[in-house]
Structure formats: C-alpha cells, structure tokens
Structure 1
Amino acid sequence: MDDHSHIAEQLHTVRDFIRWGASRFGEEALFFGHGTDNAWDESVALVLHGLYLPNDSGPQVLDARLTSAEKQRVLALLERRISKRIPAPYITGSAWFCGLEFMVDERVLIPRSPIAELIEAQFVPWLQKSPERILDLCCGSGCIGIACAYAFEYAQVDVSDISADALDVAQQNIHLHHMDGQVRALQSDLFQGLADERYDLIVCNPPYVDEVDFGSMPSEFHHEPSLALASGEDGLDFTRRLLAQAADHLNDGGHLVLEVGNSWPALEAAYPQLGFEWVEFERGGHGVCVLNREQLTIIGNN
C-alpha cells in the first residue's frame, strides 16, 4: 500500500483534507505569499481546486465525503505543493487581483502587487480626472492593465512586456475578460516598442529585487521568471532606465505609479533631489511611489 492510499483511508471529508494539508504545510515550513499568507488558506485553495469547487464554497461542503478518486487527486495536489515548493496559483492555474480572476503559469509573476488598492480607489488623490490612455509597463499577466480598464471604462489601455511568453498569457487574460476592444498587448523593451506613444498614467511593477534579496528568496519564488524579479546589485537597473525616459511618454499632468518594494531606500539614495511620496496601504505592502511628469522631467534632464 502506497503512502497516498494509507492516508486516504484515514481522511474522509473536505474538512479532513484541508486540515491535513494545512498541518503538512506547517510541518514542511512552506512559504506563503503568492495569493495566501497562511497554511490553512493555501490548503483550502488546493483542496477546492482538486474537487472542482469554487473558491467561495460555503461551510456546507466541509463535511462532504470524498470518493476514492477525489482523495487521490487532492492528495497529489497537496503533495506537489510540498515536494516541489510550487506556489499554489501555478498548480491551480489561476490567481486573483482586484477581485478579478486571472490565468497564470510559470511564464509570469503571480499577481500580488499592493497597487491593486490604488486601482480600486482610482488613484485618488493623485489623479484629478479619469485618464484617457493608460500603460501597464512590465505587465506580466496583464492583471494591472486589465484591472485599470475595469476602473476606467472609457480609457484605452496598453499592456507591454519584453517577454513574448508573458504577453501570450496577458493576451489570454484580455480575451478572458472580454477586453479586446479596450486593452492591447505590445511587446517592448521599456519604451523601445512604444516610441510614439504618450499616456496620462503609466503603472509599472518592474523587476526590482536586488542581488542579496534574490539570493535569499524562498524556493517558491524561484518558480517565477527571474527576468521579472532580479534587477542588478541594488535592484534598480530597470528603474534607472525607466525614470530617465518616462517623462517623454507622459502627457502634461501625467503620472507614473512605480513599485520598487524593498529597494525603496536605494531609490531614495540614488535620487536625493526628489521628494518621493510613498503610498501608505491599508491592506499592507510598501515601496510604491507616485511621480508626476514635472518631477520626471528633472530626472530626464540630468
């Protein structure tokens, strides 16, 4: 009798499998930070996925008993999470951002940016009027740009990335959300493929992890594309290029919303002439600043 069969004989209900998964996740000291922040919620997500049940299933399912086939399927998912250290969204193929579901795989980062909170607030108080043109730069799955399209229904949104693989995922999400007429996906290394484009709002969650942080990241992060994470010794290789060119791609009164995470002290030290305004989030997160075109013009002229 293999281990799965032995375990399956002892577990019977949805509740049993969620509890067992959470206990095993804690025992193996997994890292949580790709959609959930604790072992219980991670186990819930995987068990419900294995049973083809929606994420918002009510407590009435907890005491439902599993068939033998269902037991084996759920156990395989939980064991894969443990043995491979694969983040749950890559196993389920979906992630949530701004209350919206997105298709994800290992070609893109798993959506988790605190910028979601700004999108839901329509970037108040920084934006005085609704933007007509928006760019999601380094778009990955396209979640930021698509969420912006929901928030500003009359805006035209571009999502761009250097990675053709990432853009394939973004295009699938554009189709998934029926946004083909409002959102377009463009391949570009920074602004190289956007030479003549100007925007009222650029939102960028670029690679910003420095060498020290990248080397010490939990195993789960190393399933994500390193191109979307690492950015040189201080984490600012991409950001320096962005700040030097952004003003040329913003309309008058335009803004850049930029996430640099733990590299925010390095960014402040690199640009002491700027009075960075760091966003305070109610739901957690840090390292996001908002810069206007006038500030960026100063950088570009230096």
Structure 2
Amino acid sequence: MSHTDMNFQQHASQAIDELRTVQDMIRWAVSRMSEAQLFYGHGTDNPWDDALQLVTHALSLPWNLAEEWRHSRLTRCEREAVINVLEARIENHVPTPYITGIAWFCGQPYSVDERVLIPRSPIAELIEERFADYWQANQDPTRILDLCTGSGCIGIACALTYPEAEVELLDISFDALEVAEENIHNHQVEDRVIALHSDLFASASGRYDIIVSNPPYVDEDDMACLPEEFLHEPELALAAGQDGLDLVRIMLAQAREYLTDDGIFVLEVGNSWPALRAAYPELPFSWPEFKRGGHGVCVLHARDLERLAESALTQ
C-alpha cells in the first residue's frame, strides 16, 4: 500500500505510535491537509497556519509558541488529542475556527460556532482606519448600526474603535444573537452595545452616523459550487437569491431613513458587486481597495441615497 493510499485512520494510528514532538505533529498535519485538498479562507490561507492553530489548540498552547517549545515531546494522550482535533478538519472539512471556537477580527478574538459565519470581512481594515476618507476625522460617530450582525464582530469592533459610541447589533437569527451576546460580554461592552432580533431595519430606531452591513450576498451560481467548508456555515447567512441582491435591494431602499445627514452606509456584497453596479447605475458607489486583500465592499453617503429613498416612498 502506498503512502497516499492510506486512509486517515491508518495515518493517525501510525502518527500516534511514531511521532514525538509538537513540530512532528504540525508537519504531519500539513501533509495530511495537503493530501485532502482542503479549502482555506476562514482566517488562514495555507495548511501550515491552519495546522499550527489546530495542533496548539489541542495542546492548550498559544499558536505563536516559542521555537524551543516546538521540540517538546508529547505524551501519547496528547498525541491522541491532536489527532482527534485534526480528524474533524481533514475528514469532515470543518473550518478551523469552528473547531477552536475562536476567530480573530480587527486583532481581537471572537467566539464562533456553526450558528454564525466565521468573521473574515475586509471591512475590518476600514474599522481599523476609522473609516478614513469616508467619515469625518474631526468628529467621532455617536451611534452605529451593525445590520445582519451574525457573531457581532463588526459592531463590537466599531465599539472598541469608538469608545463613546452606542452600537446596535441587529439580526433575524436568534441563534446568531446568542453568539453576539456572548461576544458583547467577552469584550465587556454591555454598557454601549445591544443585540436585537430584527428583520433588517424592523427594530432599528432613530438615526445612525454609520450603518455597516455584511449581509447574505451569495448568488445561486456561487451557492451551487461552494467548497465543502462553507457548507458548515448557516445558509441563512449566505444565500441571497439569483443575483445575490435579495436583501441588499431592501436595505438600499430603506437605509436613508436611518442615516444622519452626514452618515455613511458601508455594505459588503462580495462577488455580487458587478450585479450591484449594474442594478444601480445611478448610485456613486465608492469601492475601497484593501491592503490585506478582499473586495466587494462599497460605501455610500446619506446624500447618495436620497433618490432611492424618494423612489421607495412613491411605490
């Protein structure tokens, strides 16, 4: 039997018997991941970083452990613990953050599980830059809305960036809101951040300086060919009709009503951005470029949405 013909369980049994150090387990995991042709895009983009996170998680060690620690010998029980963690990733294609229970966004850890999307939005760069070029630098926003919040990472990151701002997190999924509540507590922002059940803007109140949203935007074609890893994420948070704009159309029609006169609407539409531009040729979308990669995020000012708001009122 050739090395590549062996199944995971055979590899695993051999690894438990023969491998000895943390580094051995990481190297072995990279080999098995490469053979399994996994998809990376939930916090890492290569098997080495993925394996490092999983192995250190199984051993209750920091992922950035010192070099000398990598040569530490493992007990048999520890090797078995590593194998059990790797099995879910390699055999079942479960994304790593669902296994570790943690995803990082804007440099902070957030609790995640299969009730919410794994944070990966390029909107993180805009938050870190305090929405430079779009929001006025000499005045911090006082009210921020995170629409379709999921884990709450975007809204909470905004709250951490603007310590005086009040932030509302809205989502139609009660399951997602439970995760968001956990993250509100973990980041100790209960005094300024609230999570509410809402069908889009239904529970919104008053006006906001910044509305930011990473809504479902995957179109039918992309949904039909998603890598297996994405199938572990809630379909409710991904699928958005034939062109990916089912919810976006409603949001654009209503957003002006909830924005202050100087407010901005930050919207992620991913691969559906050509459909959005084609559907709204009259809107002056601004499309930020991201240093760390990513695309499909647009910014609109309140004044840009006036015409759509007026049209919605007459329909």
> TM-score scaled to structure 1, two decimals?
0.98
Q: Percent identity?
A: 56
Q: Given the alignment of the two structures, is residue 18 of structure 1 paired with residue 26 of structure 2, yes or no? A: yes
Amino acid of the structure 1 residue aligned with 2:86: L
Alpha-carbon separation, structure 2, partners of 1:145 and 1:61: 37
Q: Given the alignment of the two structures, is residue 229 of structure 1 paired with residue 238 of structure 2, yes or no? A: yes
Alpha-carbon separation, structure 2, partners of 1:263 and 1:3: 41
Alpha-carbon separation, structure 2, partners of 1:172 and 1:295: 36
2:92 is aligned to: 84
Alpha-carbon separation, structure 1, partners of 2:65 and 2:152: 27
Residue aligned with 1:251, SS: strand
Residue aligned with 2:251, SS: helix
- Structure 2 unaligned spans of 5+: 1-8
Alpha-carbon separation, structure 2, partners of 1:99 and 1:215: 32
Q: 2:14 aligns with which of 6, 24, 33?
A: 6
User: What is the CA deviation profile of residues 89-120 of structure 1, one whole-angstrom value per residue up to 9, with x for unaligned ones?
Assistant: 00011100000000000000000000000000
Alpha-carbon separation, structure 2, partners of 1:204 and 1:156: 16
Residue aligned with 1:301, SS: helix
User: What is the CA deviation profile of residues 13-64 of structure 1, one whole-angstrom value per residue up to 9, with x for unaligned ones?
Assistant: 1111001101111111000000100000000000000000012222121101
Amino acid of the structure 1 residue aligned with 2:223: F
Q: Residue 5 of structure 1: CA displacement? A: 3.4
1:120 is aligned to: 128
Alpha-carbon separation, structure 2, partners of 1:3 and 1:59: 26
Q: Residue 216 of structure 1: CA displacement? A: 0.5
Q: Given the alignment of the two structures, is residue 180 of structure 1 paired with residue 180 of structure 2, yes or no? A: no
Q: Residue 3 of structure 1: CA displacement? A: 5.4
Which consecutive segments of 4 or more residues in structure 1 shift more than 4 A?
none
Q: 1:249 aligns with which of 258, 273, 288?
A: 258
Residues 188-267 of structure 1 aligned to structure 2 (within 5 Å): 188-194=198-204, 196-267=205-276
Change (3 A) 1:85 1:2: closer
Change (3 A) 1:67 1:239: same
Alpha-carbon separation, structure 2, partners of 1:291 and 1:27: 44
Greater shift in the superposed pair: 260-269 or 9-18: 9-18
1:272 is aligned to: 281
Q: Is the 8 A contact 2:252 2:305 kept in 1?
A: yes
Q: Given the alignment of the two structures, is residue 138 of structure 1 paired with residue 165 of structure 2, yes or no? A: no
Alpha-carbon separation, structure 2, partners of 1:205 and 1:271: 19
Work out the number of aligned pairs and report it: 301
User: What is the CA deviation profile of residues 101-149 of structure 1, one whole-angstrom value per residue up to 9, with x for unaligned ones?
Assistant: 0000000000000000000000011100210000111100000011001
Q: Residue 298 of structure 1: CA displacement? A: 1.3
Q: RMSD over aligned Cα, in angstroms?
A: 1.1
Alpha-carbon separation, structure 2, partners of 1:300 and 1:231: 22
1:160 is aligned to: 170
Alpha-carbon separation, structure 2, partners of 1:259 and 1:27: 33
Alpha-carbon separation, structure 1, partners of 2:242 and 2:305: 23
> TM-score scaled to structure 2, two decimals?
0.94
Q: Residue 211 of structure 1: CA displacement? A: 0.3
User: What is the CA deviation profile of residues 185-232 of structure 1, one whole-angstrom value per residue up to 9, with x for unaligned ones?
Assistant: 1110001122x3310000000000000001101000010000100100
